[in-house]
Amino acid sequence: MGHKGTETRNRLLDATQELVETAGYFGAGLNQVIAHSGSPRGSLYFHFPGGKDQLVAESVRRAGRAMGDALEGMADSSPSAAEFAAGMLRHLGDRLEESGWRKGCPAATVALEMAATSDPLQEACSEVYASWEAVLRAQLAGRPDADDLAVTVLALAEGALLLARTHRSREPLNRVARQIEALLR
């Protein structure tokens, strides 16, 4: 694919990610994606012949990789699992607040709306969460309960994000950060 094709594909993915994160799967109609990206309709079907589910699945994976990269960067600079978890929640809170309380987890809305009815979207969300669990598990290496704790920390973070978005407040993230710190001590 040439440079122009790559740019168009990336614009479509950027637009989809923005729309899905702020309005959900059903709020990211193909007409909205085309308008938001400034791309011609034919480009959408050229780059994503599998239609909307392929477009959204690739967008979720891409957003998941970006978040995973951020988590790995935090992991590299965190001296402990507790400090890593606190940094992760701060990062998620910053992202949420900077978006006007519109952008929580890049996979959660799609998972809630579509995981039961679309195998490609369920698989994309599952891959994203599994990759984040792996980063958490690596931070907890050496603990016999690392697998359970990685899932627990991720579930607590996801719940805190939902509550923070709902209340338009960082307080749920702050409270969960304190509890995760106590759990990981």
Each residue's pLDDT tens digit, 52-64: 999 999 999 999 9
CA–CA separation, 88 and 141 (whole Å): 17
Q: What percent of the chain has pLDDT over 90?
A: 92
Give the CATH number for residue 10.
1.10.357.10
Question: What's the mean per-residue pLDDT of the chain?
Answer: 94
pLDDT over 90 (residue 185): no
Number of domains in the chain: 1
For residue 134, the model assigns a pLDDT of: 96
- What tens digit of pLDDT does each residue of 1-41 get? 677 879 999 999 999 999 999 999 999 999 999 999 999 99
For residue 34, the model assigns a pLDDT of: 95
Average pLDDT over residues 121-147: 96
For residue 160, the model assigns a pLDDT of: 97
Q: What percent of the chain has pLDDT over 70?
A: 99
Average pLDDT over residues 157-185: 96
For residue 4, the model assigns a pLDDT of: 80
Average pLDDT over residues 57-77: 95
Q: Which domain holds residue 111?
A: 3-184
For residue 1, the model assigns a pLDDT of: 64
For residue 2, the model assigns a pLDDT of: 72
CA–CA separation, 93 and 95 (whole Å): 5
